[in-house]
Amino acid sequence: MLRRFSLHLSLFSLSAALFALAFPSYLHHGGLYPLAYIALIPFFIAVNRISWWSGPIWGAFFGFLSYALLNYWLANFHPLAIFIVPVIYAGYFLALVPALQLARHWFPRWGFLVQLVFWMAYEYFRTLGFLGYSYGIIGYSQYQLPWLVRISSVTGVWGVSALVLFPSVLVAWIITGWTGNPSRAGLYAEFRRYRGAAGGYLILMAAVAIAGAGLRVDLQDTPTVRMALVQQNIDPWQGGTRAYRRSLDVLMRESRAALESDPDIELVVWSETSFVPSIDFHRRTRTQLESWELVERLLDFLEDQPVPYVLGNGDRQLRRSAQGDLEAFDYNAVLLMQGREIVQTYRKTHLVPFTEHFPYQRAFPWLYRLLVENDTTFWEQGEDLTVFEAAGIRFSTPICFEDTFGYLNRHFVREGAEVLVNLTNDSWADSVASAMQHMGMAVFRAAETRRSMVRSTNGGMTTLIDPNGQIVDMLPAFVEGHLIVDVPVYTESDTLYTGYGDWFAYLCSIAAAVMLGTAFYRGFRQLTDRRKAVQNK
C-alpha cells in the first residue's frame, strides 16, 4: 500500500514539476518548451492506475501543486493569491481526473483520444466566466516556435495545445497497457497496436510545420508606424503621491529622450495605469490639491509634445444615483491624448477576478470583506470596445490581463483594429518568469489575428510581436528605458480564427460532452444488466 502511494505521489509530483518548467519559470526565464510534450506522461500513467475513490484526491493534489509551481510569483502580490489560484485548480482537477478515468475504463482501445478531448474541453472552459484564467494552457508553452504558433490563426491556441498534449496521452496509454504484460514482447505488442496513431501524429506534425511556413505573410512592403514604448520600471501604485511623481518624472524623461533621438516617432505609448490620478476627474473637480498639481504637470508636458500619447490611467467618473446623490465609478482605462485633450478612452472590459472584480458581494460577504481589508482595488467594468485612431492607423488597447484572451482581441480586430497595443503593469510580481508567461500568450494574439501586437509595460516585457507571431524586439525586464519600433500595419488578410473564433474548442467541448454521456450510459447499462442478472438467479 505504501509503495503504491509513494509511486503515485512521485508520478503526480514529477508531472507537476515538468509542467511548470515547460513554461517560463524561476529556473529558466524563457521556459523549457520541449518538456511540454512529455510533461504529462507521469500524470496520465498515474491517472490510468489509481483507484476510483482516490481519483478526486489525487486530482486535487496535482491541480494545487502544478499551479503553485507555475504561478509561484503570485505570492509577491498577496499571500491570498498564491492560495486562491491553486485551490481553484485543485477543484478543476478534482473533477477532471475522474472523467479521465472514465475514458480509460469505458474506451479501452481509443480512450487516449477521449482523454485528449476531455483535457481540451477543460482548458477551454476554465477561460470562461468570472474565474476565467489562461495561464497554464499547455499550448502557450510553445510561444518560441513561430511556425507552430501560426497554426493558431486557424484553430486558436487550442489546436497547438492538442498537438503538444497528444504524445503524453499516447505514451502514457502504451506504458499503462505494457504494465499489464511487463515484458519486451508486451511492450512491442502495445507499440504495434498504436503505431498507426503514432505515425499519424508524426505525419500531422510534418504537415503542420509545412502549413506553419505557408501561413507566414510577407511584411516587406507592409506600411509601418513608428512608436516609442516607455518602460519606467516604477510601480506607481506603491507609495502614493511620491511614487506617482517619481513615475511621471521617468515617463517624461524617457519620452523626451526617445523623441530627441528619433524625430520620426509618430506615437508614444506608456504602460497600464502609468499615471494613476484620474486626469478627467481632477481636471474637472480640482478637489485634491496634490493630485491636481500632478495632473496639471502632465498636461503641461503633453501640451508641448509633437505627437499623440497613449497612456494608462485610473479613470474616475461621477454619476447621479436614483436618489440624486453623486457616486464615483473608477475604471482601469487607456486614454489617447493630443496635447491637453482626451481624444478617446477605452475602459477595461475583462477584469481580473478577485483583484479587480468581485460580483458576489451578497453571496460571499466574508470573502468580499477579506479582499477589501487586504487593500484590493476594485474597478468598474467597461462596456465599449474602443478602436482608437491616431498616427494614421486604427488600434485597440487590451489592458494587461486582457491580452491573455483570444476572444477579446479577435473582437477588437473585427471592430476594425489594425494593430493591438497592450498596456501592462506586471511589476507587482517582481518576476521575469511572470512577465515572460504573460508575453508568451500575447504572441498567440498576434498570430491568431495576423495583426501586430505591441506591448508597453511598466517593468517587462515591453515588446513588438509581428503578425507572424515573431518576437521582433524586446526591452530587458526591470530596467528603465524606451523601445522605438516600426510596427507593421498588416491588413491584407484575415484569419479563420478572426472569423470563427474558438470553433476548435467548441468542437472539443461538444465531443467531450457526447463521450462523457456515452460513458455514463454504458455504466448505467452495465449496472442495469447486473441487477437483472441478480434478479434472474
Of 123, 190, 266, 348, catalytic: 348
What's the CA gap between 197 and 191, in Å, rounded?
10
Q: Over the stretch 383-414, which tens digit does the pLDDT of each residue have?
A: 999 999 999 999 999 999 999 999 999 999 99
Active site residue 400: yes
Residue 285 CA from chain centroid, whole number? 38
Question: What pTM value is reported for the model?
Answer: 0.93
What is the C-alpha separation between 86 and 141, in angstroms, rounded?
19
One-letter identity of residue 57: I
Is 508 catalytic? The answer is no
Per-residue pLDDT tens digits for 49-88:
999 999 999 999 999 999 999 999 888 776 677 788 899 9
> Known catalytic residue: 341?
no
Rounded-to-integer distance, Cα 192 and Cα 279, Å: 68
> Measured between alpha carbons, how far is 517 from 524 in angstroms, rounded to an integer?
10
Single out the catalytic residue among 123, 356, 380, 400.
400
Task: Locate the DSSP E strands across 414-531.
Answer: 419-424, 452-457, 463-465, 471-474, 481-488
77: phi then psi, degrees, rounded to nearest 5: -80, -55
pLDDT in the model for residue 78: 67
Q: At a CB cut-off of 8 Å and minimum separation 6, what does 519 contact?
A: 102, 103, 105, 106, 107
Q: How far is CA 339 from CA 303, 306, 334, 438, 463, in A?
A: 4, 8, 15, 32, 26
The CA radius of gyration of the chain, in Å to the nearest whole number, is: 26
Q: What pLDDT digit, counting tens, does each position of 487-530 carry? A: 999 999 999 999 999 999 999 999 999 999 988 888 788 778 77
β-bridge partners, 318 = 328
CB burial of residue 511 (10 Å; 0-12, 13-18, 19+): middle
* C-alpha distance from residue 486 to each of 203, 268, 524 (Å): 38, 12, 62
Strands (E), 398-490: 419-424, 452-457, 463-465, 471-474, 481-488
Grid coordinates of 108: 479501452
pLDDT top residue among 535 and 98: 98
pLDDT at 375: 64
Phi/psi at 43 (5° precision): -60, -50
d(CA 476, CA 518): 51
pLDDT of residue 374: 65
- For residues 110-114, give the mean pLDDT: 94
pLDDT greater than 80 at residue 377:
no
**Residue 337: strand pairing partners:** 309, 342
Counted residue by residue, the chain has a size of 537
